[in-house]
């Protein structure tokens, strides 16, 4: 398959498998999504979803959160890992939201990426899922599958994001990045790959038939 043929096939199959794409992280607004995405670093979405109810019961908006003791935040989010760093980031970014942004989560990459604990991937998730701005957040599933599908060199996530944005239509990015994540979790894990189950990878990597 050529790259354009791969892209067409992949998009068609993902749309067939996942016509709807519910956001995996439970949230009620842009702030709770931002915090949930921050917590998801090196942690499963499932575990984050078990932790955030208690956290948002403690404080549901930035002004409340900035006034909480960082050790209390850390105690609640400990199951997510990296709790010392994440708890400090949550308290600090909440304060910045209040002091610089009127208590609102900014809807642009520049301001989001200036917040403690918020990198480009986290900002991309918030921009796409909270504000509907086309973005292509690259997590480990997307990086792995783009490499397995021969759509990127796989050298780093920065290059993978550039290749994904170049190959896939902009209007499909927000839904497609979730579809790829869902497929990776269900059919193409990092370990124990079953090439018969992972039919997209198997199909797009078949050798081209010789020309007659």
Which residue, among 132, 125, 139, 48, has the nearest Cα to 86 in the 3D structure? Answer: 48
Over residues 118-136, the mean pLDDT reads 96
**Known catalytic membership, residue 139:** yes
Q: What is the pLDDT of residues 134-162, one digit of tens each?
A: 999 998 889 999 999 999 987 899 999 99
Asked if 112 and 131 count as a contact pair (C-beta separation under 8 A), the reply is no
Residues in the chain: 212
Please name the residue ranges forming H helices in the chain. Answer: 3-17, 30-39, 45-58, 62-66, 70-77, 83-101, 109-113, 120-129, 140-148, 157-167, 173-187, 199-204
Between CA 79 and CA 75 the distance in angstroms is 9
pLDDT bracket for residue 95 (50, 70, 90): very high
**Known catalytic membership, residue 88:** no
Over residues 160-186, the mean pLDDT reads 96
> Which domains, ranges and CATH numbers included, belong to the chain?
3-21+136-204 (1.10.1670.10), 30-129 (1.10.340.30)
pLDDT of 64: 97
Q: What is the pLDDT of residues 62-72, one digit of tens each?
A: 999 999 999 99
pLDDT of 9: 97
pLDDT of 123: 97
pLDDT of 209: 47
pLDDT bracket for residue 1 (50, 70, 90): confident
Average pLDDT, the chain: 94
> Which position among 111, 139, 162, 175 bears the catalytic label?
139
pLDDT of 205: 87
Could you tell me which residue, 113 or 1, shows the higher pLDDT?
A: 113
- Residue 113: Cβ within 10 Å count: 14
Q: What is the pLDDT of residues 2-50, one digit of tens each?
A: 999 999 999 999 999 999 999 999 999 999 999 999 999 999 999 999 9
> Which position among 86, 91, 121, 198 bears the catalytic label?
121
Asked if 133 and 30 count as a contact pair (C-beta separation under 8 A), the reply is no
């Amino acid at each position: 398959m050529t790259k354009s043929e791969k892209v067409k096939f992949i998009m068609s199959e993902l749309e067939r498998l996942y016509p709807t794409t519910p956001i995996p992280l439970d949230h009620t607004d842009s702030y709770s999504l931002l915090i949930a995405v921050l917590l998801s670093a090196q942690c499963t979405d499932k575990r984050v979803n078990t932790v955030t109810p208690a956290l948002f019961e403690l404080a549901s908006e930035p002004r409340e959160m900035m006034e909480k003791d960082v050790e209390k935040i850390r105690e609640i989010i400990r199951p997510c890992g990296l709790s010392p760093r994440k708890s400090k980031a949550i308290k600090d970014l909440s304060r910045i939201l209040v002091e610089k942004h009127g208590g609102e989560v900014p809807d642009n990459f520049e301001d989001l990426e200036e917040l403690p604990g918020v990198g480009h991937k986290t900002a991309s998730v918030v921009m796409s899922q909270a504000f509907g701005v086309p973005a292509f957040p690259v997590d480990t599933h997307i990086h792995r599958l783009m490499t397995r599908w021969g759509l990127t060199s796989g050298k780093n996530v920065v290059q993978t994001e550039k290749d994904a944005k170049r190959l896939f239509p902009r209007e499909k990015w927000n839904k497609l990045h979730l579809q790829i994540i869902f497929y990776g979790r269900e059919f193409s894990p990092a370990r124990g790959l079953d090439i018969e189950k992972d039919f997209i990878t198997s199909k797009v990597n078949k050798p081209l038939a010789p020309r007659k």
